[in-house]
Chain A
Amino acid sequence: MPSRREFLKLSAFVSASALTPGFLRRLGPGQLPPGSKRLVIIQLSGGNDGLNTIVPFRDDRYYQARPALAIPAGEVLRISDELAFNPALAPLRELYDQGWMSILSQVGYPNPDRSHFRSMDIWHSASGSGEHWQTGWLGRYLDAACAAGAPAHTVLELDETLSLALRGEQISGLGLRDPQQLARSTRDPWIQALSRTEPQGPSELDFLYKTLTQTTASAEYLSSRLSVRGSAAEYPAQELGRKLKLIASLILSGAEPRVYYVSVPGFDTHVRQRGPHDRLLGQYAEAVAAFIRDLRQQGLLDDTLVLSFSEFGRRVAQNAGNGTDHGKANCLFLMGGKLRKPGLFNGLPDLRTLDDGDLAWQIDFRQIYASLLRDWLGADDEAVLRGRFGRLALV
């Protein structure tokens, strides 16, 4: 039974939403049923250097290729006889030891592209390397979910500029910095009045008014969920920590988003990489560890899966500026309480057989998407991905 404070909050929301026009489905103060699965995606933008993240410290080729950039065997964080982390990833050790982390090596796609923009678009749209799709895989997942009545905030990006990944044919996901801030703009009397207006005119006008009304309702809904119950855990103060805490609070409140999307910039480390890259990894690891710990304490880790990826890895050899240039396949992390194969999913990267100086792909990233869509979100992976990609035993 909700507390009185909770009840008042909910009823305040209901009365506000009662003003929305009848042509829209009413967004109730809904909650996902217990046990619903959520997917959290963390994008490392710029091309994270996977070889200085999960360090092949037993492989001489790594040290030969990176005389001034390799992490000395004495400095790495040894996890097992064969496996070592960049020492900046120390906060993730506990996750690994608990079996909450799968590391997939050499993830990529055929005919890789070394441009950030192109490669990121390929990861977002899930197209082949020679195709140009203007919708994203999560947007198409949303299209299907919306046909069944789900709201735009079913896929939620913690950013005001929406990524291609969340753009669908019929509808796009919602992007926001934080629900409170969006609600402040939608509570503007002008926006309120417009969102109660019945449009008259071409169908595009109808689409715009619907988007406006739904955004207003989503902002109210999400901020009301946040004030019902938030996370009290400690998170690092930086941006990723703030965003993951917000996500934990929404998950904890039972809010409707099924997929959360965040990105972290800065991984394009061409010059004097070591210091800045280690700092980025350290911030990432601290924020993710706090998030996983929080979910664990709230009993939600089994229902949450974190995927973190980058648009490509970097070249095996360092460059003249003690940094690395754009490469191809890369490692990718899955984190959560229900992993079918924790630890190294497919071994360490093979540095013997390179593709023009880069790691070659072994796992197509669309196999991972297919597995998560079908086995985690219960969606039709072949419809969303417009093709069949062999699923993996991930979750």
Chain B
Amino acid sequence: MSSERAHIRHLLFRAGFGPAWEDADALERMSLRDVQRRLFRDSEAPDPLPAPGGLGLPASLLAMTPEERQEAVRTQRLLIRGLNAAWLERMAASQGQLREKMTLFWHSHFACRLRHPALVLRQHNTLRQHALGSFADLLRAISKDPGMLQFLNSQQNTREQPNENFAREVMELFTLGRGHYTESDIREAARAFTGWGFDAQGEFVFRPRRHDYGEKTFRGRTGPFDGDDILDMLLEDPQTARFITRKLYRYFVHPEPAEAVVEEWAGQFYRSGYQIGELMETIFTSAHFYEARNLGARIKSPVEYLAGLMRLLNLRFGDAGSAFFVQRAMGQVLFDPPGVAGWPDGRAWIDGSALMLRLRLPLAMAYAAELDFQPKAEFAGDEDLSEAASREARRLNVRLDWTPILRQLGSVSPQRQLETAAAFCLQTPLPASVPSLLQIADPEQRYVRLLCTPEFQLC
């Protein structure tokens, strides 16, 4: 296979969720440059997720009876699951693959756990809108996003009782990274952010009476700073460009950054005024990105794996419960990051049982079988993961259309089928002994087995 085909596949897996059979004929005729151009063109529109019915503004749970509250919480959880399934389907089906992938990256960067579906949707669409725009705009928008204001306690940050949660995380996780600020900078920044909050309509408000108008000394400068001033100063520091570029490198290029390349790209990112789209274009068109050491160097996260599998099986979930169950079994649920630091990456996704699940999931999905797996029930909201309740969810409700797959793979010899499929789906070649294991008469099953391999875990 030509290296250009391998590079196209590398780009599709990293900038999106991998190839889809429906796209096979078009890809066959395209050069790497064509695919790069199409990738950016197809991701121009933010394409916000629509609001489902029943999505109200945050109602006060405090005014409810305990029974009403439990029911309201349950309804909210189901609405969030619906949003989850809708986004996962976007990842699998959308032409705007790069936008979906970038939104997933920012979801883990600005990770919030929110209970109210209206706040979840609003935050998601904010990330989506700025995903390829200016990081400066993204940072300012997300800092005033009601979900973020709630999750990192900005609502409780007042002149009398400053809450440092947002001030700490905005520096540690969102802009500078550890080691580039002091505890005193956190305290002073928290004072500057006092008065930020949101109203009953979920709109950002500045509450002057809660704001501390005094002088603050932040990273060597003194003045009556407010929250916007702090964000501006964080963006003025090239360390922010370096921190973000390094994280993007680790996610999109290789888990161990080549520091000289990071430095060069960070300089360009800073000078461009933090244009994310320009940076991503630099990355995806650089010779460095296509170096051999980067190909197949990444273990897919569960969501990347799942969206990619949906594309390669031409599969959609029939209900949000099944989509949720599979994510839960694999350990990554959209809109439910483990905490403000987002999801870990790479080998952290793999342990014995997780790998066993990945090696049998394609068969279970392709044949809508019962998934023999029991995710752990932990906190409130996990009642539906109990042994009995999840029996329903384990019977995966999926729809699968073999037509485009068989159009490409159905009419050729078994040997040719395996070569074609492996060249389309896998980032690393199969060991010499594996094709002999795939002497299975049924072409559909033969193909699905190819996805039940350690090789398929990599991109």
Q: A46-B378, A118-B339 are in contact. Are A182 and B296 (CB under 8 A)?
A: no
Given contacts A160-B375, A191-B359, A270-B380, contact A174 B352 (CB under 8 A): yes
Flag if B351 contacts A211 (CB, 8 Å). yes
Known: A160-B374, A172-B351. A117 touches B113 (CB 8 A): yes
Stretch at the interface among A197-205, A288-296, A328-336, A345-353: A197-205
Roughly how many angstroms separate A187 CA and B339 CA in the complex, as a whole number? Answer: 37
Q: Which of B11-19, B77-85, B426-434 contacts A (4 or more CB under 8 A)?
A: B426-434
Say how far A176's CB is from chain B's closest CB, in angstroms.
6
> Which stretch, B194-202, B265-273, B341-349, B404-412, touches the partner chain A?
B341-349
Specify which of A159, A163, A214, A323 lies most central, judged by the most chain B CB atoms within 10 Å of its CB.
Answer: A159
Query: Does B376 sit within 8 A of A, measured CB to CB?
Result: yes
**Is A93 at the interface (CB under 8 A from chain B)?**
no
Which of the residues B70, B434, B454 comes within 8 Å of A212, measured between beta carbons? B454
User: In the complex, are the beta carbons of B437 and A172 less than 8 A apart?
Assistant: no
B298 at the interface (CB under 8 A from A): yes
A202 and B352: CB pair below 8 A? no
Are B375 and A161 in contact, with the CB atoms below 8 A?
yes
Decide: B348 and A134 in contact? CB cutoff 8 A.
yes
A270 and B379 CA atoms in complex are apart in Å by 12
Point out the residues of chain B lying under 8 angstroms from A185, CB to CB: 356, 360, 372
Number of A-B contacts (CB under 8 A): 164
Given contacts A117-B113, A121-B338, A161-B331, A186 and B356 within 8 Å (CB-CB): yes
CA distance A188 to B356 in the complex (A): 11
In the complex, residue of chain B having the shortest beta-carbon distance to the beta carbon of A172: B351
- The complex places the Cα of A177 from the Cα of B390 at a distance, in Å, of 15
How near does chain B come to A46, taking the closest CB pair, in angstroms?
Answer: 5
Within 8 A of A (CB), among B162-200: 168, 173
| B457-A116 in contact (CB<8A) | no
CA distance A136 to B372 in the complex (A): 27
Q: Is B352 touching A321 in the complex (CB atoms < 8 A)?
A: no
Residue B299 interfacial (CB < 8 Å):
yes
**B458 interface hit (Cβ, 8 Å):** yes
Q: Given A117-B338, A263-B378, check contact A174 B431 (CB 8 Å).
A: no
B152 to chain A, nearest CB (A): 12
Q: Which A residues lie within 8 Å of B75 (CB)?
A: none
- In the bound complex, CA of A242 to CA of B173 (Å): 42
Q: Look across to chain B and name the residue whose beta carbon is closest to the beta carbon of A45.
A: B378
Q: How far apart sit A172 and B455, CA to CA, in the bound complex (Å)?
A: 20
- Cβ of A130 < 8 Å from any Cβ of B? yes
Choose from A265, A271, A321 the contact partner of B382 (Cβ within 8 Å).
A265
Bound Cα distance A265, B168 (Å): 32
Q: Which of A161-182 touch B at CB < 8 Å?
A: 161-164, 166-167, 170, 172-177, 181-182
- Asked whether B3 is an interface residue with its Cβ less than 8 Å from the other chain, the reply is no
Chain A, 259-281, contact with B by CB distance < 8 Å: what is the 0/1 string? 00001010010111000000000
A207-B296 contact in complex given A130-B168, A186-B356, A202-B428, C-beta closer than 8 Å: no
Q: Could you tell me if A204 and B356 are in contact, using CB atoms closer than 8 angstroms?
A: no
Contact between chains at A214 and B339 (CB < 8 Å): no
Q: Are B347 and A265 in contact (CB under 8 A)?
A: no
- B219 → A minimal CB distance (Å): 19
Partner of A204, one of B297, B429, B437, B449: B297
Given contacts A161-B329, A199-B454, A204-B296, 12 further A-B contacts (CB under 8 A): A46-B378, A117-B338, A118-B339, A152-B352, A173-B351, A181-B372, A182-B352, A204-B346, A212-B454, A265-B376, A265-B378, A320-B66
What are 14 A-B pairs at a CB distance below 8 A?
Answer: A116-B379, A130-B168, A134-B348, A172-B350, A190-B359, A191-B356, A191-B359, A193-B433, A194-B454, A202-B297, A212-B359, A268-B379, A271-B66, A271-B69
Give residues in B with beta carbon < 8 Å to A: 66, 69-70, 113, 168, 173, 293, 295-299, 328-329, 331, 338-341, 344, 346-348, 350-357, 359-360, 372-380, 382, 387, 428-429, 431-434, 437, 449, 452-455, 457-458
